[in-house]
Structure 1
Amino acid sequence: MPPRLRLSVSLLPHPLRHEVLVYPRRHASAAAAGATSSVTQTSSSNPVSAALPPSAYPSDQPPSHRRPEFRKSQLHRQYTSLLRTTPLIIFFQHNNLQATEWTGIRRELTKALRKVDEEHAAAGRIEPPIAPLVQLKIIKTSIFEAALRVVDFFRPDNISFKGAGKIAGAKADPNFTHDLSRTAYASVLHKKGKHELSPILVGPIAVLSFPHVSPEHLKAALSILSPKAPQNPAPKRKANPGLYDLPVQNGLQKLMLLAARVEGKVFDDGQTRWVSSIEGGMTGLRSQLVATLQGASASVTSTLDAAGKSLYFTLESRRSVLEDEQKGPESEGEEKKE
């Protein structure tokens, strides 16, 4: 048997050496891990290169608090984008739903939302259909809470590291203020657990997101996911037999409505159902607002008109009294002679 040759790590090529050392510790590809680790080791060993000016970094990849290729970083980006672009988000607690149950629930939800779009089209409304854009998905609560803090509390124009800690504040660079930057992380670290939605972001949570606030679509969604009479009654079996399939009903029993985020404000169960009960949707709400403003203006006009008329009659009566007083007793005697 030929003798085994021992290869020294120092004799291996540079990329291969990093593959051998880094691959067991990183869940990335060998080439990406080798290239990233080489840059990391160089920057850590050389403090001058670690403090590079902003122009030295590529515009599409500034330095981040966490490595951008990690799944947590990608989820953080998705959640911040969702919170900024979605005005209506409903939070549900789910308990061990199976894949078949999720499939049935999503099927019935899509069917109910499409029915609302068809009704709008039949009524001649020019609003675009939103059923394909409504999403029901499970979230990572800790990352979602961090994204909430960044969206609601981080202001690049007014950066403060109060309560962030010495390490987080020292690593923060005010030149970089993107969502994954160390500056954003350090400036909202003291707000951890203090958001209005923090108490409900515990355990398994699913969110239902709408591209815009539509009370009709919200009512249809709640009638499927969280039916409650009289505001959001469930469809009858004859109208929607698929809703009463056993997997769907078992899954719905494991869903519980917690809260909602509407235009940046937190709504509880009752307030969320009140939004869904607005007649005519946003169009009806706008017409109600216009009618209220018109009624208020008419009321103000009538009040001012009544006050003017009252003042006119008062002055006229006073004028007649003064004229009678100026005539005096002579005029009264002349009237008697006549």
Structure 2
Amino acid sequence: MPPRLRISSLGHQIPRCQYELQIVRSASTAAAPVFTPAASIEQMTRSPVPVSRSPPTQLPSHRNPEYRRSQLLRSYTSLLRTSPLIVLFQHNNLKSMEWAAIRRELANALKKVDDKIATEGRTAPAIAPYIKIQTIQTSIFEVALRIVEYFKPTDAALASGQPPRAVDPVTQTSAELPAVSGSKDDPALTHDLSRTAHLAVKNTKGMHELSPLLVGPVAILSIPIVSPEHMKAALSILTPKEAGFPTPSRKANPDYHDPIVQNGLRKINLLAARVDNQVFDINQTKWVGSIEGGMDGLRSQLVTALQSMSSSVATTLEGAGKSLYFTMESRRSVLEEEEKGPTGDKSESS
């Protein structure tokens, strides 16, 4: 009986004539000479164009912008420039559920402050959705602090003698970025990731007032405007005992007294605050939160103090003028009596 042949194997076989044709074509292709055109005289005499390691829309940087540390540095510098009120806390091993519960209670308390301001008819904007609490990388945040405080892009550009590139110091971007083909050592580059910024703050490590506090796990509360009322509401939720503010009652806010919220709040401690580029300790932070009526109340207190000062100055000046007037009048009367004395004696003798 003849052996059986599989149909599939027959279907994949290549005819002999076709196979020989393929071998001939491959041999002719391999034997064909390949000619490379010679370079022109201009190409040989002209210097090669420097290769840019950055895309056309990205300025050359000392720090690689693709790294997460670089992006965190840019976000921290932007946060420091746009948030005039920042409160620093120390947190110790908070769980994700505890963070979620604390953020929920904080958002509710800040929303009540916005509602109170709206009911009073004041024109202050609602800023509760923009107030955030977040953990930070302390080493990168310390570098961002030094860049914001000690690095002045305009001064660096004037010292280099070249005009600075059009870069927004907050967003680090520009609507019309030119094609950059320069080097990262270009002194005209003054963005936060540039070599100029790195050299400007290289020797200032540990010199900022907040540097000793940026050790261990740290969280920050950023407020876009200086609002003592929102700061008081936040401190009454996060650290009521250290700040000296009353906690929400169980009847008014029962969710605040849940065990998961209280367990998380026991692990948070108040460190300091940064208000309008000034470092405030715990006592000064308490004072900022205790201002009644917010910034409007502070302005009214200032106006009252100026009015009282002006009235006291006017009273003092008026009293000095009166005393001078009485002194001059008494002296005038004494002089008149002295002048009348000799003439009276002459008349009696005559």
TM, length-normalised to structure 1? 0.76
Q: Does 1:68 align with 2:69?
A: no
Residue of structure 1 in register with 2:327 after alignment: 314
- The structural deviation recorded for 1:114 is 0.9
- Deviation (angstroms), 1:193: 2.1
Alignment of 1:103-142 (within 5 A): 103-142=100-139
Distance 2:235 2:269 in 1: 11
| Corresponding residue of 1:21 | none
**Contact 2:107 2:128 (C-alpha < 8 Å) held by counterparts:** yes
Counterpart mapping for 1:49-198 below 5 A: 49=50, 58=56, 60-159=57-156, 172-198=185-211
Q: Deviations over 1:119-163 (max 9, x none)?
A: 1111111101111110011111111111111111112344499xx
Displacement of 1:331: 4.0
Shift of 1:51: 8.8
1:64 to partner: Cα distance: 0.6
Report Cα offsets for 1:289-335 as digits up to 9, x if no partner: 11111111111111111111111111111111221222226548989
- With over 3 angstroms needed to count, the CA separation of the structure-2 counterparts of 1:100 and 1:260, relative to structure 1, is same
Asked if 1:270 is matched to 2:283, the reply is yes
Q: Indicate the residue corresponding to 2:338 in structure 1.
A: 325
Q: Aligned AA for 2:50?
A: S
- Matched residues in 1 for 2:303 and 2:185: separation? 49
What per-residue deviation string (whole Å, max 9, x for no partner) do you get for residues 212-231 of structure 1? 11111111100000012783
Flag the 1:332–1:123 CA change in 2: closer, same or farther, 3 A: farther
Q: Which runs of 5+ in 1 are unaligned?
A: 1-45, 162-169
Identity, % of aligned positions: 62
Are 2:184 and 2:194, in contact at CA under 8 Å, matched by a contact in 1? no
1:102–1:64 CA distance, 2 compared to 1 (3 A): same
Equivalent residue number for residue 299 of structure 1: 312
Secondary structure of 2:87's partner? strand
- Cα gap change, 1:171/1:63 in structure 2, threshold over 3 Å: closer, same or farther? closer
1:72 Cα offset (Å): 1.4
Deviation at 1:69, TM superposition (A): 2.2
Tell whether the 8 Å contact from 1:231 to 1:277 is kept in structure 2 after alignment.
no
Contact 1:172 1:186 survives alignment (8 Å): no
Note the residue ranges of structure 2 that are not aligned, 5 or more in a row: 1-46, 161-182
Change in 2 beyond 3 A, CA 1:334/1:118: farther
SS of residue in 1 equivalent to 2:208: coil
TM-score (norm 2): 0.74
Change (3 A) 1:253 1:231: closer
Partner of 2:296: 283
1:118: Cα distance to partner? 1.0
Distance 1:116 1:51, change over 3 A: closer
Say whether 1:248 aligns with 2:261: yes
Q: Kindly provide the CA deviation profile for residues 189-247 of structure 1, in whole angstroms up to 9, marking residues without a partner as x.
A: 11122221111111111110001111111111000000127831211111111110011
The residue matched to 2:135 in structure 1 has which SS? strand
- Compare 322-331 and 294-303 and name the one that shifted more: 322-331
Answer whether contact 1:88 1:212 (CA < 8 A) is retained. yes
Which amino acid in structure 1 is aligned with residue 329 of structure 2? Answer: E
Decide whether aligned partners of structure 1 residues 190 and 50 sit closer, same or farther in structure 2, where only a CA change above 3 A counts.
farther
Cα displacement string for residues 40-68 of structure 1 (whole angstroms, at most 9, x for unaligned residues):
xxxxxx9972699xxx983x311011221
Q: CA RMSD in A?
A: 2.5
- Paired residues in the alignment total 278
Higher-Rg structure is 2
Q: CA 1:196 to 1:229, structure 2 compared with 1: closer, same or farther past 3 Å?
A: closer
Worse-matched range after superposition: 321-330 or 288-297: 321-330
The separation in 2 between residues aligned to 1:123 and 1:279, in whole angstroms, is 14
